[in-house]
Amino acid sequence: MNFKQLIFFACIALVVTSCNNTKHLAAGQNLFIGSASKVKSTAKISKGERKDLEEQMQSLVRPKPNSNILGIRFKLSVYNSVKEPKKKKGLKYWLKYKVGEPPVIASNTALEKNRQIIQNHLDNKGYFRDSVVMDTSIKNKKLKVTYTALLDSQYKINQASYPNDSSEIAKQIQSTALNKKEVLLKPKEPYDLDIIKNERIRIDANLKEHGYYYFGPDYLIADVDSTIGYHRVNIDMRLKPETPTIARQPYYIKDVYVFTNYSINSDTSLIGAKKYEGYTIIDPRNRFKPQIFSRTLVFKPGDVYNRTDHNLSLNRLISLGVYKFVKVRFEQGDSAQTLNAYYYLTPTNKKSIRFEVSALQRSNNTTGTEFTINWRNRNLLRGAELLTISANAGFEKQISSGINTTILTTGIEADLYLPKILAPFRLNTSSAFVPQTKFSAAYQLYNSTAEYLLTSVSGTYGYVWKNAITNEHQLTLFNINYVKPTNITPQFQTAIDTNLTLRRSIEQQFILGTIYNYNYSSLARINANKNNFYFNGNVDLSGNLLALLTGANAKKDKQVNIFGTPFSQYIRLEADFRHYLRLGNAFRSFNSRIDAGVGYAYGNSTNMPFVKEFFAGGVSDMRGFRARTLGPGTFYGSSPKDSIIIEQPGDVKLLGQFEYRAKLFSIVRYALFTDIGNIWTLKEDTTRPGSKFTSNFISQLAVDAGVGLRFDISILVLRLDMAFPVRVPYTLPGGEAYKVNFGSSQWRKDNLIFNLAIGYPF
C-alpha cells in the first residue's frame, strides 16, 4: 500500500467509525450534538447587537457536545470502539478515558435549565419581561436544541444618583461620581447588572485609595426603579443602613513592623527590634541591611492607608528575589482611626547549587552531552544582591563521510544583580518594581579538535527595570565581546581559504557597544482576553565611540585594531511582533508572528560580525528548512543530502509565522502551521549570487507548511513538528523546479524535516 492509499483508507475508516456513534445508546437516549441561539425582537436592533446577544446565549449552554474534527467525532469513536477495561490502568483504560470521550447525552432537565439561565441572563442585560422558548429536533438518535429569545426594547439608564449627605464617606463617593470618564452608570447607556456590580467595585477601589480600609462593595446597594416608563430606569446607589462605623472612616498608618526572618514557628515578639527611618525592623541575625526596607516599602508612618501602596510594597518585596513568602497584616492601632502594618517575610535559601546534565543527537550526525553547574547567592552583601556563577563543559562527536570530529566546550560566567540603579542619571522606572543594575562576565572555549579553537571573552554592565508587569526595559551601557580563533588545522585552513562564508564563521572579532531592549507581553498579566500581544524591540550599536575617538574608516584604509583585531562598528535593529487570538476556549487559538531585522556595518567595518548576522531555518524559524541554511535571497547554499551544513548569514531578515493550535486529548495538543520568510545581504556578495536585497524581495520569500504535536506537562512543553517546503526561492541544481510530491519516497526523504524542541516556537 502506497502513501496515498494509506491516507485514503485511514479517512474512510474514520468516517465509518463516526457513523456508529449512537449504536451504544440505550433506548430513549439521544446524543446531544449541539445548540443554536436566535434572537427575535419587536424593537429595532442592529446586526452586531443581535450577533453579540446570540453569542452570549450560546456560551451559556451546558453541556458542550462531543468535540469533532471536520465533523468527525474522533474521541467519541475511540471511546465506543474500546471495550470497558477491567482495571483503571493500562492501554485500554488510557485509550477509552484519556484519548476517548464518553457520549454527551441530551437531558430534558439540563436543556430546561439552560433556558432559565438564558432568560435570567437577558433580564440582567435589561431585557425585562421578555421570554426564551426552546425547540428540540431529533434525527437518528441525535438531538439538537434551538433557543429563541423573544425580545422587546432594552431598558436604558435615565439617571444615577449617589449618597448626598454630609458625611465624609458620602462626599468621597460623590467625588468619584464627578469623574465622568471613570463612572460606569451613564445616562442613555443600557441597563446591565454586571456594570452595576463593577460600579460598586470601582467605588470601593476609590475609597480604598483614601484610607477606607474596612469598606467593601457589599456595603453599597443599588435600588433600580423601572416604573418611570419609556423603557428607562433610575438607579440610586446608596450605603446600606447597617454599614458599620469602622467602614465609614478613613485610617492612617501608625507603626510599620518588619519581621525579616519569619516562619510559622517564629517568635513574633519585638525582642531585638531596631528603629530605622520610622520602621521597626526585627532582624536578630542581622541578615539584611535596614536600607533595603526604606527603599522597598512604600508605606510610611503617618500616611493615609491606600490600596496602591499596599500592593506596591508587596510587589517590591517579592521582586527583590530573596523572600519565598511575603504577607502583610493590618490591625487597628491603639489610637482612633489608625492601623499598624505587620510584614512577615520568609527568606528563601541564601545559597543554592544546581547541576544539569543534557544529552543531544543532531541531524548532522552529532551526538554529545553537556554538564552545567550553577551556584547562586541571593543576599551577597546583605542588601538583596544576587550573584550567580555557572560553569559548563560539553562534549560532542560527529561522524560524517568517514571523518571524526570531536567538539569540546568549556566556560564560566558570573552575573551580579544589584536592587538599585547605579547611574549618574535617572531612569523612568515604576515604583511598583525594584530596578536592577547588572554586571556580567564570561569566558568560553569552543574546541573543534579537527578544525579550530575559539576563545571568547565578554562582559556587560547595564540596567533592568519595569514600568508595568507587562513590559520590561534592558539597557546595556557597556557590552564587550572578544573572539579569537587559534589552532586552525591545515585541512580546515584549506576549506576556509576557498569558502568566504565558512571563513567568516570563525573570524576574529572585537565588539564594544550599547544595547537597548524593550519587551511587552499582555500575557504577563493573567487574563481572558480574546486578543493578546507580544512585542520585542532591540537596538544594538557598536564601535561608535571608538570610531569617534580614533577616526576609524575602513573605506579610507584607516581601519583601527584593538588587541590586534579590527573593532566592529555597526547598527542592528530587530522587531518581533506576535498576536495570540483565542478561539472559544483556552486550548484553541490562532497565533501569528512577524519578525523583521536589519544590520548595517560602516566606519571601521565592511561586514557585520558573524554572531550578529540574521539566519533563516530551524525549529522556531522556517521549520521546513534545515537550521540556518536558507538563503540569502535566491542563493542555493546546501542540499538536504549534504552532510556538512554551511550556515548562511544575512543583513536583512523577514519572517512571518502562522499557527493554529488546539487540544487533541489529555496533555496532547496539535498544530497546523505555515512559515514565510528569508534573509538577504545589503551588499552584493559575489560568492553568493542572488543574495542582495532588492525591490523583488517578495518573490524571493520561501514558504513552508507542516503539522505538529505539543505535549504540555505544565513544567515544560515538548514539541514535535513535521514540516516541508511549499515554495523555495532558488532554482535547484540543473535548473529543476521545486515541486511538492508526497507520493515520492525520495521527495519525502529529501524534504520532510522533523523538529524536536522544548516550548512553543513563538
95: left (phi over 0), alpha (psi -120 to 50) or beta: alpha
Pair 218, 244: CB distance under 8 Å: no
Is residue 20 located within the same domain as residue 68? yes
Q: Which three cell numbers stand for residue 688?
A: 553568493
Is residue 329 located within the same domain as residue 258? yes
Domain membership flag for residue 220: yes
Is residue 74 located within the same domain as residue 200? no
Domain membership flag for residue 50: yes
- Write phi, then psi, for 655 (nearest 5 degrees): -145, 130
Q: What is the pLDDT of residue 110?
A: 95
Separation between Cα atoms, residue 638 and residue 650, nearest integer Å: 15
Is residue 116 located within the same domain as residue 160? no
Is residue 273 located within the same domain as residue 133? no
Is residue 10 located within the same domain as residue 142? yes
Domain membership flag for residue 567: no
Pair 65, 56: CB distance under 8 Å: no
Is residue 257 located within the same domain as residue 240? no
**DSSP bridge pairs for 648:** none
Q: What is the pLDDT of residue 115?
A: 97
Q: What is the pLDDT of residue 4?
A: 55
User: Three-class SS of residue 611?
Assistant: helix
Q: How many domains does the chain have?
A: 3
Looking at 312, 347, 382, which one is the last position of a domain?
Answer: 347
Count other C-beta atoms under 10 Å from residue 454's C-beta: 20
Domain membership flag for residue 555: no
Task: Using the structure block, give the residue that is written with the C-alpha cell 454599614.
Answer: 243
Domain membership flag for residue 107: yes
Q: How far apart are the first and last CA of the chain?
A: 38
Domain membership flag for residue 731: no
Q: Where does residue 737 rank: exposed (0-12), middle (13-18), buried (19+ CB within 10 A)?
A: exposed
Pair 608, 598: CB distance under 8 Å: no
Q: Which three cell numbers stand for residue 250?
A: 478613613
Q: Which three cell numbers stand for residue 271?
A: 525582642
Q: What is the pLDDT of residue 2?
A: 56
Is residue 60 located within the same domain as residue 76? yes
The one-letter amino acid code at 190 reads P
Is residue 81 located within the same domain as residue 204? no
Q: For the whole model, what pTM was predicted?
A: 0.74
> Looking at residue 190, which CATH number applies to its domain?
3.10.20
Nearest to 31 by CA among 140, 110, 114: 140
Separation between Cα atoms, residue 463 and residue 578, nearest integer Å: 25
- Mean pLDDT by groups of 10 residues along the chain of 762 residues: 53 53 88 95 91 95 88 88 87 89 93 96 93 94 96 95 93 90 93 96 96 96 94 96 95 95 80 89 92 90 93 90 94 93 94 81 58 93 94 73 68 94 79 88 88 90 91 94 88 80 81 96 89 97 92 89 90 97 86 97 91 90 89 83 71 98 90 97 91 95 96 85 94 84 88 86 91
Is residue 102 located within the same domain as residue 170? no
Pair 308, 205: CB distance under 8 Å: no
Separation between Cα atoms, residue 654 and residue 700, nearest integer Å: 11
Q: What is the pLDDT of residue 565?
A: 87
The whole domain housing 113 covers: 3-151
Is residue 10 located within the same domain as residue 59? yes
Is residue 118 located within the same domain as residue 196? no
Q: Name 69's Cβ contacts closer than 8 Å, sequence gap at least 6.
A: none
Looking at 151, 174, 197, which one is the last position of a domain?
Answer: 151
Separation between Cα atoms, residue 295 and residue 434, nearest integer Å: 9
Domain membership flag for residue 384: no
Looking at 213, 248, 283, which one is the last position of a domain?
Answer: 248
Q: What is the pLDDT of residue 715?
A: 76
> Looking at residue 43, which CATH number applies to its domain?
3.10.20.310
Nearest to 673 by CA among 664, 661, 685, 688: 661
Domain membership flag for residue 700: no
